[in-house]
Amino acid sequence: MDVAVRACRPDDLASRLEDRSWTGVWGPLGPGRIVLDHCAAIVTVFPYDVKLPQLRELTDVAQRRGLLRELFADRSDLRDGELRGLRYLPERRYVAELYAPPPGHGRALLKAYAAKDYIRAKSHALAFQSRGPLRVARLLGRSESRRLLAFEWLPGR
């Protein structure tokens, strides 16, 4: 289980709690977010990240299928794909490998962004392209409303 803890000064706790969209969100182990007033800390349980609400859709199999159909309109091999988390930066970004079940075996890199980071990431994804020996992963799809970018999977490490 992934959890993130954000501590702050006691005077700043109220401003950190202004976004109430997480209220009432419960996961299999209880609330998705726990406020520890006595030590001015907020504990967030993955995938219930306030700044990355798209994670809930990505981790729910039924919702993920619909989202992937939208994201990969022209890639039927990826629409029923599974996710393997690669990197999670709470309240900033989530990166996952999307891999298709046999027989397609397609792969892609999926990145979910917080609002403040998505616009910059999208412009960078559109600005660069492969040339000569330089290989840059192509943008395969994007969702503005969910702040998701999908890139081709490049072999290597």
pLDDT at position 30, please? Answer: 62
Class of domain 54-152: alpha beta
Q: Which contiguous run of DSSP H or E holds residue 98?
A: strand 93-99
Residue 48 in contact with residue 33, Cβ under 8 Å?
A: yes
Numbered ranges of CATH 3.30.200 in the chain:
54-152
Distance, in Å, from the CA atom of 80 to the CA atom of 20, rounded to the nearest integer, reads: 32
pLDDT at position 63, please? Answer: 92
SS3 109: strand
Span 14-54, pLDDT tens digits = 887 776 555 556 665 566 778 888 888 888 888 888 889 99
Residue 100 in contact with residue 107, Cβ under 8 Å?
A: yes
The mean per-residue pLDDT over the stretch 1-7 comes to 80
Span 40-99, pLDDT tens digits = 888 888 888 888 999 999 999 889 999 999 998 888 888 888 999 999 998 899 999 999
Residue 155's pLDDT band (cuts 50, 70, 90): confident
pLDDT at position 103, please? Answer: 65
pTM equals 0.83
